[in-house]
Structure 1
Amino acid sequence: MRTTFHLRTLAVAIATLSVASMTNAAGLDRSGQDITAFLQDGTYAEAVYTYIDADVSGYDSSNNDPFNNNYVRGNKTGDIAESYDFFRYGVKTDINDTFSIGILYDEPFGASAEYKGDNNFVANTNPVDSAGEFANDPAPNNPVDGATTAALEPFIIGAENGTSGETTKVEVRSESVTAILGMKFGANKNFQVYGGPVAQRIQADTALRGLAYGLATGYTSHMSPDMDYGYIAGMSFSKPEIALKAALTYRSEIDHNADTFESYPLAQVIGGAATPPRAIPASQTGKIEVTTPKSVNFDFQTGINPTTLATAKVRWVPWSDFVLTPPLYNEASQASGRYGDDGLNLVEYDDDQWQVELGLAKRIAPALAISGTVGWDSGAGDPTTSLGPVDGYYSVGLGAKYNVTENWAVSAGGKYLWFGDAQGQLPTGKIVGDFQDNDGYVAGVKLSYQAR
């Protein structure tokens, strides 16, 4: 016999992808670090699969002078966003009417992008024109920097030849396991405080290729997998008779100190040209410090009538605090004498991320509910890194949940996203790409079990 949806359980019918972030929509955000599995009644378990496919394309800059920041539209980049998928799991149970425990797994942060084709993000075997200068080189109009550029051309060309045909690409993966203990209190057990430890693993690979990166062309880094720990803390309120639930959740920063390998073909040239000259290796192993950002999530739902539920989700992540500073890359930028004593970070963002999503869920049959969402993501600033040139998005989504049995249900959903236009910027401040009118979609499926 099919079960009937009760008002207070309609939240589970919301589309699978409720707070799913999009490829580089804001910083490295991916899963949205959703904890709503822990907020369900009774014993609950879910497994969620999410697939992301985006079209992020634009134009490179035909200005190949590394010391001239003017953007001049050049060649098409093609689609740089690689398809991306990840999983989320959660299980939760009540020990008694006061205490609950749960374990959640997700993949909170990530990136996947690669430039291909005929553009300045791909190493070229012949990156000069018939006059022996960089193609579209603006140096003749800039005598001071033009002279510097001319002196460096043989080295940049040499590095290009050494990586001929190789592409600029980035791959970041992370995994997170969160253990939660909750305690209900109040006359009707309406309030709950919860918290627990978080274990997080992260790894990354980056390759910079092509004339767009100037002296950094040929740079490669590999950050080995590193595990470290943080915590989660939150508070919730519920009023079952009107299906009201509200939860505010804080996740801490997590500091990583990972083994890393870097290769920088032109680092020795940069060091040799410094005043006084500095001995900088072309490659090295060492440590890199990476701090994944803290976050705050607010989840809210309330019944509108016996078959309809309204939801709201808000997420804040201070990406403006995030930096990625590989040691060799930073040392070479210091030696150049152009970027101060602190040198350059490889990745940084200007703005914090705000994400808002509003939804409605409606029971349309005893065992079937549908949901719709609209969303907005602020992005993390424009210009932004050339490794993820998207400035937020708007989204619309649809989802459905079908109760297969009294306890088991399957949900499916999708979102369409309109990305904010962004310019791709190097750490030096040079604009090397312009990306407009891009979009993408997210699709996912969830299998869930609930027993009260």
Structure 2
Amino acid sequence: MRSTFCLKALSVAIATFSMASAASAAGLDRSGQDITAFLQDGLYAEAVYTYIDGDVTGHDNAYIGADDKAYTKGNKIGDIAESYDFFRYGVKADINDTFSVGILYDEPFGAAADYTGNNNFVAQGNLDDAINIISNGNATGLVDASNKIGQLSKGATQAGQAAAQFAEQAQNATSPQAAAEFAAQAKAAQDKALELKGQAESLGAAVASAQAEQATTGEGTNVEVRTENVTGILGARLGTNKEFQIYGGPVAQQVQADVALRGVAYGPATGYTAHISSDQDFGWLAGVSYSKPEIALKAALTYRSEIEHNTNIDEQYPLVAALGGDPSQGGTIEITTPKSVNFDFQTGINPTTLATVKVRWVPWGDFAIVPPLYNEVSKRATEDDKGLALVSYDDDQWQVELGLAKRLTPALAVSGNIGWDSGAGNPVTSLGPIEGYYSAGLGAKYNVTENWAVSAGGKYLWFGDAKGQLPTQKIVANFEDNDGYVLGVKLSYQAAQ
């Protein structure tokens, strides 16, 4: 029997790649956590393959000095966005006219960036240049740094001795006024000693970090984060015509990550490496939907909980050796992947045309990766008990996609969509320097038989310009005029109604 393409069947006409986003377009968002497979009628199954390739280039910061916000166009940074692909699977079945069950698999969050070439994110191995940059121009090379460290240390010692003498004079003073004056001089001398000692330690850290830069010559900064989700869903239809449905279920999530910071852009953190071991933990999903089949109308609001992971981490931080500690340490880290809200809407415009709207919100402003050794070292640099996160974001993500699907023949439909992603702030982490995107896509779906269909499509992405920054808020790069594309294919099965 030849397939017919009625209005309600247009609900699966949009091809494959809906809501697929580019790596770090906003935070670590990738798949968009689509659940529309569960919203299909009757018995339904799909397998989706998505390939994403972004071109993210820019220039490093040639400015040397203490102003963290200053930027001077520097060396070219080649494409850092590694292409990646992922799969999505979904199966949904009706138990009876009230209850439905489904299981979904996707890879919701991730990152893949790799710096190469002659720029500040690749260890070049020039010790004197590295000392100059890492010290913010306070030393022009190893000899200068060594001399200044000696001078500062000597000055700190002399100031400390003066502080001790003033303190002794304050104790032996014959009047309260004289004692107060000597005590004030002792404090000023002690403060000066601490200031000079801090400057000496800072230069010493710059030298140690430059030596780590030299030891990793040729290595580039890279990051890889991968997650996998398996979601079980139980739905119950309510209402006179079963037009309402409530649904929910557990979510199992696996996460792992690797990060390597290389090059003078990262200052004292150059040479830092972390491996976050694979961990599985659980969250949940809940939602409500409404349908009106005679006009192919479906609307669904879905909430996914955050998922907290506590897993092992191995860190190597060369600077720690210069501070008198163990540069290779193991520990535990807490990573909480963010909650999210998805809104999916579709309606028939006429018997051959379907309109769709997708909206997604993710509070990336609450997300952070805080490795314990990295954070502990940062407390000394910032003089703040809280320290710094390795990765964090300033803003929440909003993502919107509008689409149209048109039936051309009883078996063939085409679709088009446009989209916008707000990004998660600018400046943003140098490990994912994109401020959202605009997108446009085309796709087609062909019903091979009454039950089986193949969809395919592509989407072009215009990435927003962004400045890359360190956790200290220092600007280290600028990325402009970047783009990418998405390709996808889907095989779906839907039992005859």
TM, length-normalised to structure 1:
0.94
1:156 Cα offset (Å): 2.2
Read off the aligned partner of 1:283 and give its amino acid letter: S
1:111-151 CA-to-partner distances (Å, cap 9, x unmatched) read: 00000000000011215359x8449964489x999987654
SS at match of 1:21: coil
How does 1:5-16 map onto structure 2 within 5 Å?
Answer: 5-16=5-16
Query: Which deviates more, 88-97 or 154-163?
Result: 154-163
TM-aligned CA deviation for residue 335 of structure 1: 2.2
Task: Point out where structure 1 has 5 or more consecutive residues left out of the alignment.
Answer: 273-278
User: Which residue in the other structure is 1:423 paired with?
Assistant: 467
**1:23 shift after superposition:** 1.3
- Asked if the contact 2:127/2:211 (under 8 Å) is kept, the reply is no
Contact kept? 2:122, 2:220, Cα under 8 Å:
yes
Q: CA deviation at 1:4?
A: 1.3
Structure 1 stretch 160-169 or stretch 374-383: which is displaced more? Answer: 160-169
Residue 252 of structure 2 corresponds to: 199
Kindly indicate whether residue 370 of structure 2 is the aligned counterpart of residue 325 of structure 1: yes
Aligned to 1:86: 86
Following superposition of structure 1 onto structure 2, how do residues 272-421 of structure 1 map, counting pairs within 5 Å? 272=323, 280-336=325-381, 338-421=382-465
Residue 139 of structure 1 contacts residue 149 of structure 1 at CA under 8 Å; is this kept in 2? no
Distance in 2 of aligned mates of 1:153 and 1:260: 26
Partner of 1:275: none
Task: Determine what percentage of the aligned residue pairs are the same residue.
Answer: 68
Selected match of 1:181 from 234, 237, 241: 234
Question: For residues 280 and 153 of structure 1, do their structure 2 counterparts lie closer, same or farther at Cα, with a shift above 3 Å needed?
Answer: closer
**How many angstroms does 1:22 deviate by?**
1.3
Do residues 113 (structure 1) and 120 (structure 2) align?
no
Name 2:485's counterpart in structure 1.
441
Whole-angstrom distance in 2 between the partners of 1:136 and 1:261: 27
Q: Distance in 2 between matches of 1:280 and 1:390?
A: 36
Q: Once the 2 structures are TM-superposed, how far is the Cα of residue 67 of structure 1 from its aligned partner?
A: 7.4
The answer to whether the 8 Å contact 2:249/2:284 transfers is yes
**Cα offset, 1:62, TM superposition:** 1.4
Q: Distance in 2 between matches of 1:61 and 1:29?
A: 27
d(CA) in 1 for partners of 2:79 and 2:38? 38
Larger mean CA deviation between 107-116 and 17-26 belongs to 17-26
CA distance in 1, matches of 2:43, 2:222: 43
Q: Check conservation: 2:60, 2:73, Cα contact below 8 A.
A: yes
Long gaps (5+) in structure 2: 141-147, 149-195
Distance 1:14 1:331 in 2: 49
Deviations 1:62-91 (A, max 9, x none): 135577542221101100000010000000
For 1:47, the equivalent position in structure 2 comes to 47
Equivalent position of 2:57 in the other structure:
57
2:34 corresponds to? 34
| Matched residue type, 2:269 | A
Greater Cα shift, 12-21 or 27-36: 12-21
| Richer in helix (by share) | 2
Greater share of residues in strand: 1
| 1:86 partner amino acid | F
Is residue 419–residue 440 contact of structure 2 (8 Å, CA) maintained in 1? yes
Q: For 1:163, which of 216, 220, 227 is the aligned residue?
A: 216
Seen in structure 2, the aligned counterparts of structure 1 residues 339 and 348 have a Cα distance that, compared at 3 Å, is farther
Inter-partner Cα distance in structure 2 for 1:68 and 1:320? 22
CA distance in 2, matches of 1:59, 1:229: 41
Contact 1:280 1:332 in 2 (8 A): no
Q: Quick one: distance in 2 between partners of 1:171 and 1:297?
A: 26
Matched residues in 2 for 1:136 and 1:340: separation? Answer: 20
**Secondary structure at the counterpart of residue 218 of structure 1:** coil
Distance (Å, rounded) in 2 between the aligned partners of 1:154 and 1:255? 38
Q: Give the conservation status (yes or no) of the 8 Å contact 1:69–1:431.
A: yes
AA of the residue aligned to 1:97 = D
Letter in 2 for 1:365: T
CA contact (8 A) 2:312 2:330 kept: yes
- Distance change in 2, residues 1:64/1:190 (3 Å): same
The answer to whether the Cα contact below 8 Å between 1:127 and 1:135 also exists between their aligned partners in 2 is: no
Deviation of 1:153 after TM superposition, in Å, equals 3.7
Q: Which amino acid aligns with 2:222?
A: K
Distance of 1:226 and 1:148 partners within structure 2: 38
Do the aligned partners of 1:362 and 1:371 also contact (CA within 8 Å) in 2? yes
Aligned residue in 1 for 2:301: 248
* d(CA) in 2 for partners of 1:23, 1:417: 11
Cα distance in 2, alignment partners of residues 429 and 339 from structure 1: 15
Alpha-carbon distance in structure 2 between the residues aligned to 1:397 and 1:378: 18
Deviation of 1:283 (Å): 1.3
Answer with 1 or 2: which has the greater Rg: 2
Within a 5 Å distance, the mapping from 1:222-237 to structure 2 comes to 222-237=275-290
Q: Is the Cα contact below 8 Å between 2:436 and 2:464 reproduced in 1? A: yes
CA positional deviation for 1:446: 0.1
Cα distance between partner residues in 1 of 2:398 and 2:271: 35
Aligned partner of 1:2 in structure 2 is 2
Q: Please report how far the alpha carbon of residue 433 of structure 1 lies from its aligned counterpart in structure 2 after TM superposition.
A: 0.5
Q: In the alignment, which residue of structure 1 is the partner of 2:128?
A: 128
